């Protein structure tokens, strides 16, 4: 639990660094680092996790009083969308539609902060600039789990609080307010800025709870540990997944252990896949509206960087089989269709894109023409219309079988753990 560990470390060294400053004191002219302990008490990781869990499942924290973090990030679906809708509705009246599919919050614990120049120290050649990588959300604009937690609390089409103070007032009235005081100190609500920091720290720590968010309990994990065998279909799927000529999936979703660590199934990078436009998203009713990922509209700091337009973060494929919508715009609802799209995007574009007046497929219709050169052409992409796809139907089925082996909860011990309460505090 990185957040809690950093807080404990900061509490240990902070007094010396600040000349034994009192809790809440700041260095003149400088903002106090987030992980520097500013509370009357130093909360334990266990207490932070318990409070964070209560916050995560509490709909009272929203302006509508009916939308919790868990309403959109459903634990039963890998902390991603609870239904097959491309976007969820929020806001003060629950009538405001979002613009992107809900991403999973699982296996984010090793995500580096966003950088435009990522060098992977674990690669054979760590001098290679892999380009933009890191950050959370589809466009990488949140640099930490606590920054990510703040965004939906304030977003107009999510929980829609008008200020940080609004959140604090609701927490102070919640059934777990007494536990909050015991964790952070009796006077925690007296300073609303400090109390809001406590909210974010608790949410961050909960979202870094191994049992909930990165248990590594899939069949494939058991296979890598030598305690399970893959079926014939799963083995064929793994081979196609790794094959640089066929699936080439491991290029962006590494599947091998590295230095004894189990794989994350993401390289933390960004890619433009040329996903078909999803007309089920209300914002897309405007033909002039485009979600360009790294270069906007939700992310503001890279607006105008044409080379980044259309790029979205590469998600982990762990627990993908539990999700109900896929890609940043939720245009697909089945893993089979996602893999087929990869196989046939360029060989049979008419299956995936609308046609123009002459009957020709309009490829990459969710990107303005000037950005379509950013779309990934590496295998399995890059073939010609009418050509043979790099993956056949048998490959598609086998890869999906392998992806199902990435779902957590394999084996009797994991099944027993999944039956435990997810709330932690009674309401």
pLDDT at residue 123, as a whole number:
58
Using DSSP bridges, classify how beta strands 312-313 and 89-90 pair: parallel, antiparallel or unpaired.
unpaired
Element (H, E) at 133: none
To 10 degrees, what angle do helices 164-172 and 177-184 make?
Answer: 110
Q: Which of 98, 46, 106, 109 lies closest to 80, judged by CA?
A: 106
How far apart are alpha carbons 293 and 204 in whole angstroms? 24
Q: Cα dist. 394→263, 295, 310 in Å?
A: 25, 37, 31
User: Which residues, at least 6 apart from 412, have a Cβ–Cβ distance to it below 8 Å?
Assistant: none
**Cis status, amide bond into 380, omega within 30 of 0:** yes
- Average pLDDT along the chain, 427 residues, taken 10 residues at a time: 46 35 42 86 96 98 98 97 97 96 96 90 67 96 94 96 98 98 97 97 97 97 97 98 98 96 97 98 98 97 97 98 98 98 98 97 98 97 94 98 98 49 35
pLDDT at residue 8, as a whole number:
43
Token representation of residue 313: 């973060």
Under 8 Å between Cβ of 295 and 139: no
pLDDT at residue 12, as a whole number:
35
Q: Cα dist. 289→50, 151, 309 in Å?
A: 41, 22, 13
pLDDT at residue 210, as a whole number:
97
What are the structural domains of the chain? 2-108+142-212 (1.10.760.10), 219-404 (1.10.760.10)
Under 8 Å between Cβ of 276 and 352: yes
Cα dihedral sign for 163, 41, 180, 10? positive
pLDDT at residue 163, as a whole number:
97
Cα dihedral sign for 264, 267, 273, 279? positive
| Distance in angstroms between the alpha carbons of the first and the last residue of the chain | 25
Under 8 Å between Cβ of 390 and 345: no
Q: Cα dist. 282→94, 154, 279, 394, 419 in Å?
A: 14, 21, 7, 36, 37
pLDDT at residue 413, as a whole number:
47
pLDDT at residue 421, as a whole number:
33
Helix (H, G, I), strand (E, B) or coil at 72: helix
How far apart are alpha carbons 313 and 307 in whole angstroms? 15
pTM of the model: 0.88
pLDDT at residue 120, as a whole number:
75
């Amino acid at each position: 639990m990185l957040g809690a560990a950093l807080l404990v470390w900061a509490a240990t060294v902070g007094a010396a660094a600040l000349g034994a400053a009192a809790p809440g004191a700041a260095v003149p002219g400088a903002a106090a680092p987030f992980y520097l302990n500013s509370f009357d008490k130093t909360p334990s990781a266990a207490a932070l996790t318990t409070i964070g869990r209560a916050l995560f499942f509490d709909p009272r924290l929203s302006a509508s009083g009916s939308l919790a973090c868990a309403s959109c990030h459903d634990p039963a679906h890998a902390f991603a969308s609870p239904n097959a809708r491309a976007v969820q509705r929020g806001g003060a009246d629950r009538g405001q539609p979002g613009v992107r599919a809900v991403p999973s919050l699982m296996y984010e614990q090793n995500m580096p902060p966003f950088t435009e120049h990522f060098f992977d120290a674990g690669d054979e050649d760590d001098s290679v600039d892999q380009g933009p990588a890191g950050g959370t959300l589809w466009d990488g604009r949140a640099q930490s789990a606590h920054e990510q937690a703040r965004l939906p609390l304030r977003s107009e089409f999510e929980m829609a609080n008008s200020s940080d103070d609004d959140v604090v007032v609701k927490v102070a009235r919640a059934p777990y307010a007494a536990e909050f005081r015991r964790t952070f100190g009796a006077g925690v609500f007296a300073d609303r800025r400090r109390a809001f920091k406590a909210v974010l720290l608790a949410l961050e720590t909960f979202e870094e709870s191994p049992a909930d968010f990165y248990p590594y309990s899939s069949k494939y994990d058991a296979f890598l540990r030598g305690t399970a065998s893959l079926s014939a279909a799963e083995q064929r799927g793994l081979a196609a997944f790794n094959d640089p000529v066929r699936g080439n999936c491991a290029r962006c979703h590494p599947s091998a252990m590295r230095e004894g660590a189990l794989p994350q199934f993401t390289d933390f990078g960004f890619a433009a896949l040329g996903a078909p436009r999803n007309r089920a998203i209300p914002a897309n009713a405007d033909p002039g509206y485009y979600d360009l990922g790294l270069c906007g509209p939700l992310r503001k700091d890279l607006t105008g960087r044409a080379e980044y337009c259309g790029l979205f973060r590469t998600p982990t494929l762990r627990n993908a089989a539990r999700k109900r919508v896929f890609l940043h715009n939720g245009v697909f609802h089945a893993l089979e269709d996602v893999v087929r799209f990869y196989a046939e995007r360029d060989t049979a574009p008419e299956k995936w894109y609308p046609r123009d007046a002459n009957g020709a497929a309009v490829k990459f219709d969710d990107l303005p023409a000037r950005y379509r050169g950013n779309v990934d052409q590496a295998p399995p992409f890059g073939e010609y219309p009418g050509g043979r796809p790099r993956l056949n139907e048998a490959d598609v089925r086998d890869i999906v079988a392998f992806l199902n082996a990435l779902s957590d909860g394999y084996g009797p011990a994991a099944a027993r753990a999944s039956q435990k309460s997810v709330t932690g505090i009674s309401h």
